[in-house]
Chains A and B, each alone.
Chain A
Amino acid sequence: MFQYILKRIIEMIPLLLVVSILTFLFIHMIPGDPARLVAGKDATLEDVNRVSIELGLDQPIWKQYVTFMGNLFKGDLGTSLKTGLPVSNMFADRFMPSIYLTLLSMGWALVIGLIIGTLSAVFKNKWPDHLGMVTAVSGISLPGFWLGLILIQIFSVQLGWFPTGGAEGWKSYVLPSITLGAGIMSMLARFTRSSLLETLKADFIRTGRAKGLKESSVLTKHALRNSLIPVVTIAGLQFGFLLGGSVVVETVFSFPGMGRLLIDSIAFRDYPVIQSALLLFSIEFILVNLIVDILYSTLNPKIQYE
Protein backbone atom coordinates (compact mmCIF):
# COMPACT_ATOMS: atom_id res chain seq x y z
CA MET A 1 0.00 0.00 0.00
CA PHE A 2 2.73 2.44 1.02
CA GLN A 3 4.69 1.43 -2.05
CA TYR A 4 1.70 2.11 -4.24
CA ILE A 5 1.32 5.62 -2.83
CA LEU A 6 5.02 6.26 -3.26
CA LYS A 7 4.86 5.06 -6.84
CA ARG A 8 1.95 7.39 -7.55
CA ILE A 9 3.81 10.35 -6.06
CA ILE A 10 6.89 9.63 -8.12
CA GLU A 11 4.77 9.31 -11.26
CA MET A 12 3.32 12.72 -10.53
CA ILE A 13 6.66 14.54 -10.60
CA PRO A 14 7.12 14.75 -14.38
CA LEU A 15 3.59 16.07 -14.73
CA LEU A 16 4.26 18.75 -12.13
CA LEU A 17 7.45 19.70 -13.97
CA VAL A 18 5.69 20.07 -17.31
CA VAL A 19 2.91 22.06 -15.69
CA SER A 20 5.47 24.36 -14.07
CA ILE A 21 7.24 24.85 -17.40
CA LEU A 22 3.95 25.69 -19.11
CA THR A 23 2.93 28.20 -16.47
CA PHE A 24 6.43 29.65 -16.59
CA LEU A 25 6.19 30.04 -20.34
CA PHE A 26 2.74 31.55 -19.97
CA ILE A 27 4.14 35.02 -19.42
CA HIS A 28 6.30 34.61 -22.51
CA MET A 29 3.40 33.50 -24.68
CA ILE A 30 1.63 36.81 -24.32
CA PRO A 31 2.19 38.69 -27.56
CA GLY A 32 4.64 41.51 -27.07
CA ASP A 33 7.59 42.15 -24.79
CA PRO A 34 6.83 40.97 -21.25
CA ALA A 35 9.03 43.68 -19.81
CA ARG A 36 7.00 46.30 -21.63
CA LEU A 37 3.78 44.70 -20.43
CA VAL A 38 5.09 44.73 -16.90
CA ALA A 39 6.42 48.24 -17.02
CA GLY A 40 3.13 49.56 -18.32
CA LYS A 41 1.96 51.36 -21.44
CA ASP A 42 3.43 54.74 -20.62
CA ALA A 43 6.86 53.46 -19.61
CA THR A 44 9.97 54.88 -21.23
CA LEU A 45 12.50 52.65 -22.92
CA GLU A 46 14.74 53.04 -19.90
CA ASP A 47 11.99 51.87 -17.61
CA VAL A 48 11.43 48.86 -19.80
CA ASN A 49 15.11 47.98 -19.74
CA ARG A 50 15.27 48.38 -16.00
CA VAL A 51 12.23 46.11 -15.55
CA SER A 52 13.75 43.62 -17.95
CA ILE A 53 16.88 43.34 -15.82
CA GLU A 54 14.89 43.37 -12.59
CA LEU A 55 12.79 40.44 -13.74
CA GLY A 56 15.79 38.65 -15.20
CA LEU A 57 14.22 38.78 -18.65
CA ASP A 58 17.60 39.55 -20.21
CA GLN A 59 18.84 36.11 -19.12
CA PRO A 60 18.58 33.03 -21.33
CA ILE A 61 15.21 31.39 -20.99
CA TRP A 62 16.41 28.20 -19.27
CA LYS A 63 18.18 30.28 -16.67
CA GLN A 64 15.01 32.23 -16.10
CA TYR A 65 13.18 28.97 -15.51
CA VAL A 66 15.79 27.80 -13.01
CA THR A 67 15.45 31.06 -11.13
CA PHE A 68 11.67 30.78 -11.31
CA MET A 69 11.74 27.29 -9.85
CA GLY A 70 14.33 28.24 -7.23
CA ASN A 71 12.18 31.10 -6.07
CA LEU A 72 9.15 28.87 -6.11
CA PHE A 73 10.76 26.47 -3.66
CA LYS A 74 11.67 29.38 -1.43
CA GLY A 75 8.03 30.38 -1.46
CA ASP A 76 8.77 33.46 -3.54
CA LEU A 77 6.08 33.83 -6.18
CA GLY A 78 7.19 37.24 -7.39
CA THR A 79 5.70 40.67 -6.85
CA SER A 80 2.29 41.91 -7.87
CA LEU A 81 2.45 44.66 -10.46
CA LYS A 82 -0.74 46.20 -9.21
CA THR A 83 -0.15 46.28 -5.47
CA GLY A 84 3.62 45.91 -5.31
CA LEU A 85 3.13 43.28 -2.63
CA PRO A 86 4.70 39.81 -2.73
CA VAL A 87 2.28 37.49 -4.51
CA SER A 88 2.57 34.93 -1.71
CA ASN A 89 1.27 37.53 0.75
CA MET A 90 -1.72 38.20 -1.46
CA PHE A 91 -2.46 34.51 -1.63
CA ALA A 92 -2.08 33.99 2.10
CA ASP A 93 -5.46 35.26 3.22
CA ARG A 94 -7.28 34.23 0.05
CA PHE A 95 -6.18 30.66 -0.22
CA MET A 96 -8.03 29.16 2.74
CA PRO A 97 -11.46 30.73 2.05
CA SER A 98 -11.30 29.23 -1.45
CA ILE A 99 -10.33 25.85 -0.07
CA TYR A 100 -13.20 25.94 2.42
CA LEU A 101 -15.58 26.96 -0.32
CA THR A 102 -14.57 24.15 -2.68
CA LEU A 103 -14.54 21.54 0.08
CA LEU A 104 -17.95 22.63 1.35
CA SER A 105 -19.34 22.52 -2.17
CA MET A 106 -17.85 19.11 -2.87
CA GLY A 107 -19.04 17.84 0.50
CA TRP A 108 -22.70 18.66 0.12
CA ALA A 109 -22.65 17.76 -3.57
CA LEU A 110 -21.27 14.31 -2.79
CA VAL A 111 -23.75 13.63 0.03
CA ILE A 112 -26.86 14.91 -1.73
CA GLY A 113 -25.74 13.49 -5.09
CA LEU A 114 -25.32 10.05 -3.56
CA ILE A 115 -28.71 10.28 -1.86
CA ILE A 116 -30.56 11.43 -4.98
CA GLY A 117 -28.74 8.92 -7.17
CA THR A 118 -29.47 6.07 -4.77
CA LEU A 119 -33.14 6.97 -4.42
CA SER A 120 -33.45 7.23 -8.19
CA ALA A 121 -31.87 3.83 -8.69
CA VAL A 122 -33.96 2.18 -5.98
CA PHE A 123 -37.20 3.69 -7.25
CA LYS A 124 -36.23 3.33 -10.89
CA ASN A 125 -38.92 4.66 -13.24
CA LYS A 126 -41.10 5.76 -10.32
CA TRP A 127 -41.70 9.35 -9.25
CA PRO A 128 -38.60 9.75 -7.00
CA ASP A 129 -36.48 8.70 -9.97
CA HIS A 130 -38.18 11.11 -12.35
CA LEU A 131 -37.97 13.95 -9.83
CA GLY A 132 -34.32 13.19 -9.08
CA MET A 133 -33.28 12.98 -12.70
CA VAL A 134 -35.18 16.14 -13.72
CA THR A 135 -33.39 17.92 -10.87
CA ALA A 136 -30.08 16.50 -12.01
CA VAL A 137 -30.36 17.36 -15.70
CA SER A 138 -31.52 20.86 -14.75
CA GLY A 139 -28.60 21.20 -12.35
CA ILE A 140 -26.15 20.32 -15.10
CA SER A 141 -27.77 22.81 -17.46
CA LEU A 142 -27.82 25.73 -15.01
CA PRO A 143 -25.07 28.27 -15.58
CA GLY A 144 -23.44 28.83 -12.18
CA PHE A 145 -23.35 32.58 -12.44
CA TRP A 146 -27.08 32.72 -13.14
CA LEU A 147 -27.98 30.38 -10.29
CA GLY A 148 -25.82 32.53 -8.00
CA LEU A 149 -27.59 35.69 -9.05
CA ILE A 150 -31.01 34.12 -8.54
CA LEU A 151 -30.02 32.91 -5.06
CA ILE A 152 -28.75 36.39 -4.17
CA GLN A 153 -31.98 37.91 -5.44
CA ILE A 154 -34.18 35.56 -3.42
CA PHE A 155 -32.23 34.82 -0.23
CA SER A 156 -30.16 37.96 0.19
CA VAL A 157 -32.09 40.79 -1.40
CA GLN A 158 -35.66 39.70 -0.74
CA LEU A 159 -35.46 37.48 2.33
CA GLY A 160 -32.28 38.94 3.79
CA TRP A 161 -31.19 35.58 5.19
CA PHE A 162 -27.66 35.58 3.86
CA PRO A 163 -25.14 38.29 2.94
CA THR A 164 -24.78 39.09 -0.77
CA GLY A 165 -21.04 38.63 -0.67
CA GLY A 166 -17.82 38.53 1.31
CA ALA A 167 -16.39 35.70 3.40
CA GLU A 168 -17.25 36.59 6.95
CA GLY A 169 -18.88 33.93 9.04
CA TRP A 170 -20.49 30.69 7.90
CA LYS A 171 -23.50 32.50 6.45
CA SER A 172 -21.45 33.96 3.65
CA TYR A 173 -20.44 30.47 2.57
CA VAL A 174 -23.96 29.11 2.21
CA LEU A 175 -25.08 30.59 -1.10
CA PRO A 176 -21.69 30.35 -2.87
CA SER A 177 -21.28 26.69 -1.96
CA ILE A 178 -24.84 25.88 -3.07
CA THR A 179 -24.09 27.57 -6.39
CA LEU A 180 -20.72 25.95 -6.85
CA GLY A 181 -21.86 22.48 -5.84
CA ALA A 182 -25.10 22.34 -7.87
CA GLY A 183 -23.50 21.13 -11.10
CA ILE A 184 -21.31 18.51 -9.42
CA MET A 185 -24.21 17.32 -7.31
CA SER A 186 -26.24 16.74 -10.45
CA MET A 187 -23.44 14.92 -12.22
CA LEU A 188 -22.80 12.72 -9.21
CA ALA A 189 -26.52 11.97 -8.82
CA ARG A 190 -26.72 10.79 -12.43
CA PHE A 191 -23.55 8.83 -12.14
CA THR A 192 -24.51 7.23 -8.84
CA ARG A 193 -27.81 6.17 -10.33
CA SER A 194 -26.34 4.47 -13.37
CA SER A 195 -23.49 2.94 -11.41
CA LEU A 196 -25.88 1.60 -8.77
CA LEU A 197 -28.28 0.22 -11.38
CA GLU A 198 -25.33 -1.58 -12.93
CA THR A 199 -24.22 -2.98 -9.57
CA LEU A 200 -27.74 -4.06 -8.64
CA LYS A 201 -27.68 -6.37 -11.65
CA ALA A 202 -24.55 -8.11 -10.39
CA ASP A 203 -24.61 -11.73 -9.35
CA PHE A 204 -23.38 -11.02 -5.83
CA ILE A 205 -26.48 -8.91 -5.18
CA ARG A 206 -28.57 -11.98 -5.94
CA THR A 207 -26.32 -13.96 -3.61
CA GLY A 208 -26.98 -11.41 -0.88
CA ARG A 209 -30.73 -11.75 -1.35
CA ALA A 210 -30.44 -15.54 -1.47
CA LYS A 211 -28.71 -15.37 1.90
CA GLY A 212 -31.81 -13.77 3.35
CA LEU A 213 -30.35 -10.28 3.79
CA LYS A 214 -32.71 -7.39 4.23
CA GLU A 215 -33.09 -5.30 1.09
CA SER A 216 -31.64 -2.35 2.98
CA SER A 217 -28.44 -4.26 3.79
CA VAL A 218 -28.20 -5.54 0.22
CA LEU A 219 -28.33 -1.94 -0.89
CA THR A 220 -25.98 -0.35 1.65
CA LYS A 221 -23.53 -3.12 2.45
CA HIS A 222 -23.23 -4.66 -0.98
CA ALA A 223 -24.45 -2.37 -3.76
CA LEU A 224 -23.44 1.07 -2.51
CA ARG A 225 -20.04 -0.08 -1.36
CA ASN A 226 -19.28 -1.24 -4.88
CA SER A 227 -20.79 1.78 -6.59
CA LEU A 228 -18.91 4.16 -4.34
CA ILE A 229 -15.62 3.33 -6.05
CA PRO A 230 -16.46 4.80 -9.47
CA VAL A 231 -18.44 7.63 -7.89
CA VAL A 232 -15.48 8.78 -5.80
CA THR A 233 -13.26 8.62 -8.87
CA ILE A 234 -15.64 10.77 -10.85
CA ALA A 235 -15.95 13.19 -7.95
CA GLY A 236 -12.18 13.61 -8.00
CA LEU A 237 -12.08 14.19 -11.74
CA GLN A 238 -14.84 16.75 -11.40
CA PHE A 239 -12.83 18.66 -8.84
CA GLY A 240 -11.35 20.60 -11.73
CA PHE A 241 -14.86 21.67 -12.64
CA LEU A 242 -15.19 23.04 -9.10
CA LEU A 243 -11.93 24.97 -9.32
CA GLY A 244 -13.00 26.50 -12.65
CA GLY A 245 -16.46 27.18 -11.31
CA SER A 246 -15.03 28.82 -8.21
CA VAL A 247 -13.67 31.62 -10.39
CA VAL A 248 -17.17 32.38 -11.61
CA VAL A 249 -18.90 31.89 -8.27
CA GLU A 250 -16.38 34.01 -6.40
CA THR A 251 -16.94 36.77 -8.91
CA VAL A 252 -20.73 36.58 -8.51
CA PHE A 253 -20.55 36.67 -4.72
CA SER A 254 -17.60 39.08 -4.45
CA PHE A 255 -15.96 36.33 -2.47
CA PRO A 256 -12.37 37.16 -1.46
CA GLY A 257 -10.78 33.98 -2.77
CA MET A 258 -8.23 32.83 -5.32
CA GLY A 259 -10.68 32.74 -8.21
CA ARG A 260 -11.74 36.33 -7.90
CA LEU A 261 -8.12 37.39 -7.43
CA LEU A 262 -7.32 35.65 -10.71
CA ILE A 263 -10.09 37.47 -12.59
CA ASP A 264 -9.18 40.83 -11.06
CA SER A 265 -5.55 40.24 -11.99
CA ILE A 266 -6.47 39.46 -15.57
CA ALA A 267 -8.36 42.73 -15.76
CA PHE A 268 -5.24 44.56 -14.48
CA ARG A 269 -2.83 42.41 -16.51
CA ASP A 270 -1.09 41.56 -13.26
CA TYR A 271 0.90 38.73 -14.83
CA PRO A 272 2.94 37.47 -11.86
CA VAL A 273 -0.30 36.96 -9.93
CA ILE A 274 -2.04 35.26 -12.87
CA GLN A 275 0.92 32.96 -13.39
CA SER A 276 1.16 31.89 -9.77
CA ALA A 277 -2.58 31.50 -9.39
CA LEU A 278 -2.74 29.20 -12.42
CA LEU A 279 0.15 27.16 -11.09
CA LEU A 280 -1.48 26.87 -7.70
CA PHE A 281 -4.81 25.80 -9.18
CA SER A 282 -3.28 23.07 -11.28
CA ILE A 283 -1.11 21.78 -8.42
CA GLU A 284 -4.23 21.67 -6.28
CA PHE A 285 -6.02 19.71 -8.99
CA ILE A 286 -3.14 17.26 -9.43
CA LEU A 287 -2.97 16.72 -5.68
CA VAL A 288 -6.70 16.08 -5.45
CA ASN A 289 -6.40 13.49 -8.18
CA LEU A 290 -3.57 11.86 -6.28
CA ILE A 291 -5.68 11.73 -3.13
CA VAL A 292 -8.59 10.24 -5.09
CA ASP A 293 -6.22 7.67 -6.55
CA ILE A 294 -5.09 6.63 -3.10
CA LEU A 295 -8.65 6.61 -1.81
CA TYR A 296 -9.65 4.47 -4.77
CA SER A 297 -6.96 1.96 -4.02
CA THR A 298 -8.03 1.68 -0.40
CA LEU A 299 -11.66 1.21 -1.42
CA ASN A 300 -10.87 -1.33 -4.10
CA PRO A 301 -9.15 -4.41 -2.69
CA LYS A 302 -8.08 -5.54 -6.15
CA ILE A 303 -5.64 -2.67 -6.49
CA GLN A 304 -4.34 -2.94 -2.96
CA TYR A 305 -2.59 -6.18 -3.61
CA GLU A 306 -1.34 -5.71 -7.12
Chain B
Amino acid sequence: MEFTSTVTEKKQVVPKKKYSPVREFWVNFKHQKTAFFASMFILLLIIIAIIGPSIAPYDPYKPDYDATLQGPSSEHILGTDEYGRDIFSRILVGTRITLSVSTSSVLLGAIVGTVLGIMSGYFGGWLDRIIMRSSDVMFAFPDLLLAIAIVAVLGPGLNNVIIAVSVFSVPSFARLVRGSTLEAKENTFVEAAKSMGAPHKRIMFKHIFPETVSSLIVFVTMRIGTAIIAASSLSFLGLGASPETPDWGAMLSMGRDYLGTASHVVMMPGIAIFLTVLAFNLVGDGLRDVLDPKTKNE
Protein backbone atom coordinates (compact mmCIF):
# COMPACT_ATOMS: atom_id res chain seq x y z
CA MET B 1 0.00 0.00 0.00
CA GLU B 2 1.46 3.36 -0.98
CA PHE B 3 0.34 6.75 0.18
CA THR B 4 1.64 10.06 -0.94
CA SER B 5 -0.61 12.46 0.81
CA THR B 6 -2.12 13.00 4.20
CA VAL B 7 -5.56 13.67 5.51
CA THR B 8 -6.38 17.32 5.14
CA GLU B 9 -6.24 19.03 8.48
CA LYS B 10 -9.26 21.25 8.78
CA LYS B 11 -9.61 24.19 11.04
CA GLN B 12 -13.03 24.73 12.42
CA VAL B 13 -14.51 28.10 11.67
CA VAL B 14 -16.94 29.26 14.26
CA PRO B 15 -18.93 32.22 12.99
CA LYS B 16 -18.97 34.98 15.57
CA LYS B 17 -21.53 37.70 16.00
CA LYS B 18 -20.22 40.79 14.28
CA TYR B 19 -20.09 44.09 16.06
CA SER B 20 -18.68 47.39 14.88
CA PRO B 21 -15.13 47.86 16.15
CA VAL B 22 -16.19 50.57 18.58
CA ARG B 23 -19.06 48.49 19.92
CA GLU B 24 -16.85 45.43 20.24
CA PHE B 25 -14.23 47.49 22.07
CA TRP B 26 -16.85 48.80 24.46
CA VAL B 27 -18.25 45.34 25.19
CA ASN B 28 -14.77 43.98 25.91
CA PHE B 29 -13.64 46.99 27.88
CA LYS B 30 -16.65 46.84 30.19
CA HIS B 31 -15.53 43.35 31.20
CA GLN B 32 -12.27 44.81 32.51
CA LYS B 33 -13.81 45.89 35.80
CA THR B 34 -10.76 47.56 37.34
CA ALA B 35 -9.93 49.46 34.18
CA PHE B 36 -13.57 50.48 33.75
CA PHE B 37 -13.72 51.80 37.30
CA ALA B 38 -10.40 53.63 36.78
CA SER B 39 -11.67 55.22 33.58
CA MET B 40 -14.72 56.48 35.49
CA PHE B 41 -12.30 58.06 37.98
CA ILE B 42 -10.45 59.74 35.12
CA LEU B 43 -13.75 61.02 33.76
CA LEU B 44 -14.44 62.52 37.18
CA LEU B 45 -10.98 64.15 37.12
CA ILE B 46 -11.70 65.63 33.71
CA ILE B 47 -14.97 67.09 35.00
CA ILE B 48 -13.11 68.52 38.00
CA ALA B 49 -10.48 69.93 35.68
CA ILE B 50 -13.19 71.80 33.80
CA ILE B 51 -15.37 73.01 36.65
CA GLY B 52 -12.81 72.80 39.49
CA PRO B 53 -12.27 76.54 39.99
CA SER B 54 -16.00 77.19 40.27
CA ILE B 55 -16.71 74.47 42.83
CA ALA B 56 -13.63 75.09 45.00
CA PRO B 57 -14.89 76.15 48.44
CA TYR B 58 -12.01 78.62 48.94
CA ASP B 59 -9.79 80.82 46.81
CA PRO B 60 -6.79 78.56 46.17
CA TYR B 61 -4.39 81.53 46.08
CA LYS B 62 -5.62 83.61 49.00
CA PRO B 63 -3.58 83.22 52.16
CA ASP B 64 -5.31 83.09 55.56
CA TYR B 65 -2.68 83.64 58.23
CA ASP B 66 -5.13 82.80 61.02
CA ALA B 67 -5.51 79.26 59.74
CA THR B 68 -2.03 78.01 58.74
CA LEU B 69 -1.11 74.33 58.72
CA GLN B 70 -4.44 73.17 60.09
CA GLY B 71 -5.20 69.49 59.93
CA PRO B 72 -8.31 68.21 58.15
CA SER B 73 -11.50 69.54 59.73
CA SER B 74 -15.11 70.17 58.78
CA GLU B 75 -14.11 73.64 57.61
CA HIS B 76 -11.10 72.53 55.56
CA ILE B 77 -11.69 68.90 54.72
CA LEU B 78 -8.08 68.31 53.67
CA GLY B 79 -6.57 70.94 55.96
CA THR B 80 -4.60 74.05 55.09
CA ASP B 81 -1.02 74.76 54.05
CA GLU B 82 1.63 77.02 55.56
CA TYR B 83 -0.14 80.12 54.24
CA GLY B 84 -3.54 78.91 55.43
CA ARG B 85 -4.71 78.14 51.90
CA ASP B 86 -7.33 75.42 51.64
CA ILE B 87 -5.61 72.26 50.34
CA PHE B 88 -8.82 70.75 48.98
CA SER B 89 -9.44 73.84 46.84
CA ARG B 90 -5.84 73.84 45.65
CA ILE B 91 -6.05 70.17 44.68
CA LEU B 92 -9.31 70.78 42.80
CA VAL B 93 -7.82 73.67 40.87
CA GLY B 94 -4.54 71.82 40.40
CA THR B 95 -6.32 68.96 38.62
CA ARG B 96 -6.53 71.10 35.51
CA ILE B 97 -2.79 71.84 35.61
CA THR B 98 -1.87 68.19 36.16
CA LEU B 99 -4.10 66.88 33.39
CA SER B 100 -3.33 69.59 30.86
CA VAL B 101 0.44 69.51 31.40
CA SER B 102 0.65 65.72 31.19
CA THR B 103 -1.81 65.29 28.34
CA SER B 104 -0.42 68.08 26.20
CA SER B 105 3.17 66.94 26.66
CA VAL B 106 2.34 63.34 25.80
CA LEU B 107 0.20 64.32 22.81
CA LEU B 108 2.90 66.66 21.54
CA GLY B 109 5.47 63.90 21.87
CA ALA B 110 3.07 61.40 20.32
CA ILE B 111 2.36 63.57 17.28
CA VAL B 112 5.99 64.29 16.53
CA GLY B 113 7.00 60.71 17.32
CA THR B 114 4.23 59.26 15.14
CA VAL B 115 5.12 61.38 12.13
CA LEU B 116 8.81 60.49 12.49
CA GLY B 117 8.01 56.83 13.14
CA ILE B 118 5.72 56.45 10.11
CA MET B 119 8.22 58.17 7.83
CA SER B 120 11.05 56.11 9.25
CA GLY B 121 9.23 52.82 8.81
CA TYR B 122 7.61 53.68 5.48
CA PHE B 123 10.53 55.14 3.58
CA GLY B 124 13.31 53.17 5.27
CA GLY B 125 16.81 53.83 3.95
CA TRP B 126 18.84 56.80 5.06
CA LEU B 127 15.86 58.63 6.55
CA ASP B 128 15.13 55.62 8.74
CA ARG B 129 18.76 55.43 9.76
CA ILE B 130 18.94 59.11 10.69
CA ILE B 131 15.73 59.04 12.69
CA MET B 132 16.58 55.84 14.51
CA ARG B 133 20.19 56.86 15.27
CA SER B 134 18.93 60.19 16.61
CA SER B 135 16.52 58.43 18.88
CA ASP B 136 19.37 56.17 20.02
CA VAL B 137 21.26 59.30 21.00
CA MET B 138 18.23 60.58 22.89
CA PHE B 139 17.87 57.24 24.63
CA ALA B 140 21.45 57.68 25.82
CA PHE B 141 20.19 60.38 28.15
CA PRO B 142 17.96 58.99 30.89
CA ASP B 143 14.41 60.40 30.55
CA LEU B 144 14.18 62.58 33.59
CA LEU B 145 17.77 63.80 33.21
CA LEU B 146 17.04 64.85 29.65
CA ALA B 147 14.02 66.77 30.92
CA ILE B 148 16.13 68.34 33.67
CA ALA B 149 18.75 69.35 31.12
CA ILE B 150 16.13 70.91 28.85
CA VAL B 151 14.58 72.84 31.69
CA ALA B 152 18.06 73.91 32.76
CA VAL B 153 18.54 75.37 29.30
CA LEU B 154 15.10 76.89 28.85
CA GLY B 155 14.61 77.93 32.46
CA PRO B 156 11.94 76.74 34.91
CA GLY B 157 8.21 77.02 34.30
CA LEU B 158 5.28 74.83 33.30
CA ASN B 159 5.55 75.55 29.56
CA ASN B 160 9.13 74.40 29.55
CA VAL B 161 8.14 71.33 31.54
CA ILE B 162 5.69 70.47 28.76
CA ILE B 163 8.43 70.87 26.15
CA ALA B 164 10.90 68.82 28.19
CA VAL B 165 8.50 65.95 28.85
CA SER B 166 7.31 65.87 25.24
CA VAL B 167 10.89 65.82 23.95
CA PHE B 168 11.77 62.72 25.93
CA SER B 169 8.55 61.04 24.79
CA VAL B 170 9.33 61.49 21.10
CA PRO B 171 11.85 58.66 20.60
CA SER B 172 9.66 56.07 22.36
CA PHE B 173 6.70 56.96 20.17
CA ALA B 174 8.86 57.00 17.06
CA ARG B 175 10.10 53.48 17.77
CA LEU B 176 6.67 52.14 18.58
CA VAL B 177 5.07 53.59 15.45
CA ARG B 178 7.99 52.56 13.27
CA GLY B 179 7.48 48.99 14.44
CA SER B 180 3.77 48.92 13.62
CA THR B 181 4.43 50.71 10.33
CA LEU B 182 6.86 48.03 9.25
CA GLU B 183 4.18 45.47 10.06
CA ALA B 184 1.41 47.38 8.31
CA LYS B 185 3.57 47.82 5.24
CA GLU B 186 3.38 44.08 4.68
CA ASN B 187 -0.42 44.21 4.42
CA THR B 188 -1.87 43.52 1.02
CA PHE B 189 -4.04 46.62 1.02
CA VAL B 190 -0.96 48.77 1.44
CA GLU B 191 0.70 46.93 -1.42
CA ALA B 192 -2.47 47.40 -3.43
CA ALA B 193 -2.64 51.12 -2.73
CA LYS B 194 1.01 51.44 -3.70
CA SER B 195 0.56 49.57 -6.94
CA MET B 196 -2.37 51.78 -7.84
CA GLY B 197 -0.05 54.74 -7.53
CA ALA B 198 -1.50 56.36 -4.43
CA PRO B 199 0.70 59.21 -3.17
CA HIS B 200 2.98 58.41 -0.23
CA LYS B 201 1.28 60.86 2.07
CA ARG B 202 -2.07 59.25 1.42
CA ILE B 203 -0.78 55.72 1.98
CA MET B 204 0.96 56.74 5.18
CA PHE B 205 -1.96 58.49 6.77
CA LYS B 206 -4.97 56.76 5.20
CA HIS B 207 -3.68 53.20 5.24
CA ILE B 208 -0.80 52.84 7.65
CA PHE B 209 -1.70 55.25 10.43
CA PRO B 210 -5.02 53.52 11.28
CA GLU B 211 -3.09 50.29 11.78
CA THR B 212 -0.97 51.92 14.48
CA VAL B 213 -3.83 53.58 16.32
CA SER B 214 -4.68 50.86 18.81
CA SER B 215 -1.14 50.46 20.10
CA LEU B 216 -0.80 54.26 20.12
CA ILE B 217 -3.87 54.65 22.32
CA VAL B 218 -2.49 52.13 24.79
CA PHE B 219 0.92 53.77 24.85
CA VAL B 220 -0.45 57.32 25.19
CA THR B 221 -2.50 56.27 28.22
CA MET B 222 0.50 54.59 29.82
CA ARG B 223 2.75 57.57 29.10
CA ILE B 224 0.33 60.04 30.71
CA GLY B 225 1.03 58.37 34.05
CA THR B 226 4.76 58.67 33.44
CA ALA B 227 4.36 62.29 32.36
CA ILE B 228 2.41 63.22 35.50
CA ILE B 229 5.19 61.78 37.66
CA ALA B 230 7.91 63.45 35.54
CA ALA B 231 6.18 66.84 35.57
CA SER B 232 5.47 66.73 39.29
CA SER B 233 9.06 65.59 39.92
CA LEU B 234 10.31 68.65 38.04
CA SER B 235 7.98 70.87 40.07
CA PHE B 236 9.17 69.14 43.21
CA LEU B 237 12.77 69.88 42.24
CA GLY B 238 11.83 73.53 41.78
CA LEU B 239 12.18 73.37 38.00
CA GLY B 240 8.49 73.34 37.14
CA ALA B 241 5.53 75.25 38.45
CA SER B 242 6.28 78.26 40.61
CA PRO B 243 5.64 77.67 44.33
CA GLU B 244 2.43 79.68 44.54
CA THR B 245 0.79 77.70 41.71
CA PRO B 246 -1.58 75.04 42.98
CA ASP B 247 0.39 72.38 41.10
CA TRP B 248 0.38 69.07 42.99
CA GLY B 249 4.13 68.59 42.71
CA ALA B 250 4.87 72.14 43.80
CA MET B 251 2.45 71.79 46.75
CA LEU B 252 4.33 68.71 47.85
CA SER B 253 7.64 70.44 47.49
CA MET B 254 6.48 73.34 49.65
CA GLY B 255 5.03 70.97 52.23
CA ARG B 256 8.31 69.11 52.76
CA ASP B 257 9.46 71.44 55.49
CA TYR B 258 6.33 70.73 57.55
CA LEU B 259 6.51 66.97 57.21
CA GLY B 260 7.09 66.42 60.91
CA THR B 261 4.48 68.88 62.12
CA ALA B 262 1.73 68.86 59.50
CA SER B 263 2.17 65.79 57.33
CA HIS B 264 -1.21 66.28 55.62
CA VAL B 265 0.34 69.08 53.56
CA VAL B 266 2.51 66.42 51.91
CA MET B 267 0.03 63.55 52.10
CA MET B 268 -2.91 65.11 50.30
CA PRO B 269 -1.29 66.21 47.02
CA GLY B 270 0.74 62.99 47.08
CA ILE B 271 -2.42 60.89 47.28
CA ALA B 272 -3.89 62.95 44.44
CA ILE B 273 -0.86 62.27 42.22
CA PHE B 274 -0.77 58.61 43.18
CA LEU B 275 -4.46 57.98 42.49
CA THR B 276 -4.38 59.83 39.17
CA VAL B 277 -1.28 58.00 37.92
CA LEU B 278 -2.70 54.70 39.19
CA ALA B 279 -5.95 55.33 37.31
CA PHE B 280 -4.10 56.01 34.04
CA ASN B 281 -1.92 52.92 34.49
CA LEU B 282 -4.94 50.72 35.23
CA VAL B 283 -6.82 52.05 32.21
CA GLY B 284 -3.68 51.55 30.15
CA ASP B 285 -3.44 47.90 31.30
CA GLY B 286 -7.11 47.36 30.49
CA LEU B 287 -6.84 49.01 27.08
CA ARG B 288 -3.82 46.92 26.23
CA ASP B 289 -5.66 43.73 27.07
CA VAL B 290 -8.54 44.75 24.83
CA LEU B 291 -6.79 46.54 21.98
CA ASP B 292 -3.36 45.03 21.82
CA PRO B 293 -3.71 41.32 22.45
CA LYS B 294 -0.17 40.73 21.17
CA THR B 295 1.35 42.26 24.25
CA LYS B 296 -1.34 40.88 26.50
CA ASN B 297 -0.22 40.37 30.06
CA GLU B 298 -2.97 37.90 30.93
Contacts and interface: CB of A to CB of B under 8 A. Distances in A.
A262 B139 CA distance: 19
B148 A247 contact: yes
B259 A157 contact: yes
Contacts of B249: 143, 145
A194 B237 contact: no
Interface of B: 136-137, 139-145, 147-149, 151-153, 225, 229, 232-233, 236-239, 249, 252-253, 256, 259-260, 263, 266-267, 270, 273-274, 277-278, 281-282, 285, 297-298
B137 A244 contact: no
Nearest to B154: A31
B298 A266 contact: no
Nearest to A152: B259
A281 B260 CA distance: 33
Nearest to A28: B153
A31 B160 CA distance: 14
Nearest to B142: A240
Contacts of A240: 139, 141-143, 145
A140 interface: yes
Contact of A149 (B143, B259, B281): B259
Interface string A14-30: 01001100100010011
A150 B264 CA distance: 11
A124 B298 CA distance: 9
A194 B298 contact: yes
Given A157-B260, A282-B142, A19 B237 contact: no
A29 B153 contact: yes
B140 A15 contact: yes
Contact of B281 (A140, A144, A266): A140
A193 B281 contact: no
B149 A263 contact: no
Given A137-B281, A141-B281, A263-B238, 7 more contacts: A141-B274, A143-B277, A145-B233, A247-B144, A247-B237, A281-B142, A281-B145
Consensus secondary structure, chain A interface: helix
A115 B271 CA distance: 28
A149 B249 CA distance: 13
Interface-central residue, B145, B225, B236, B298, by most chain A CB under 10 Å: B145
A26 B151 CA distance: 12
A301 B223 CA distance: 34
Contact of A146 (B145, B152, B237, B270): B270
A18 B298 CA distance: 41
Contacts of B263: 153
Contacts of A143: 229, 232-233, 236, 249, 252, 270, 273-274, 277
B298 A22 contact: no
What band does the interface of chain A fall in when counting residues whose beta carbon is under 8 Å from B?
A: 35 or more
A241 B143 contact: yes
A147 to B, nearest CB: 8
B273 A243 contact: no
A144 B233 contact: yes
A137 B153 contact: no
A282 B140 contact: yes
Nearest to A267: B238
A30 B153 contact: yes
Interface string A214-244: 0000000000000000000000000111111
A239 B139 CA distance: 11
The 4 tightest CB contacts between A and B, nearest first, are A244-B144, A240-B142, A146-B270, A141-B278
A252 B239 CA distance: 15
Contacts of B152: 30, 266, 274
A197 interface: yes
Nearest to A198: B298
Contact of B141 (A124, A142, A252, A278): A278
